[in-house]
């Protein structure tokens, strides 16, 4: 089986294609995991996904992620 050719994704361009908050959009795939973009404004309630990991890359703005026992601030 031949692996698919990697595709370049322009994150800024993808963000410009939607304006709704709290509705993740799938923009790619990496090692069997979906790559999603989401816009949020105001509180983003804590939640978990038992079968997935999450990575947060802040492209614009700032937020504080409240974890058990500590806060992680991105300015």
**Per-residue pLDDT reduced to its tens digit, 19-42:** 999 899 999 888 888 899 999 888
Domain membership flag for residue 3: no
Domain membership flag for residue 6: no
The tally of domains found in the chain comes to 1
Across 5-26, average pLDDT: 91
Tokens of 73: 């601030």
* The predicted structure's pLDDT at residue 38: 92
Residue with tokens 């999603």: 36
Domain limits for position 27:
11-74
Residues in a beta bridge with 26: 36
Tokens of 60: 């614009």
Q: What average pLDDT is seen over the chain? A: 85
**Eight-class DSSP state of 6:** P
Instruction: Check pLDDT > 70 for residue 73.
Output: yes
First to last CA, the chain: 44
Whole-angstrom Cα distance, residue 19 to residue 34?
Answer: 20
């Amino acid at each position: 089986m031949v692996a698919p050719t990697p595709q370049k994704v322009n994150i800024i361009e993808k963000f410009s294609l939607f304006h709704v908050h709290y509705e993740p959009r799938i923009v790619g795939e990496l090692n069997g995991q979906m790559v999603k973009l989401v816009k949020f404004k105001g509180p983003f309630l804590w939640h978990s996904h038992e079968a997935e990991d999450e990575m947060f890359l802040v492209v614009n703005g700032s937020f504080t992620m409240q974890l058990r026992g500590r806060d992680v601030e991105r300015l």
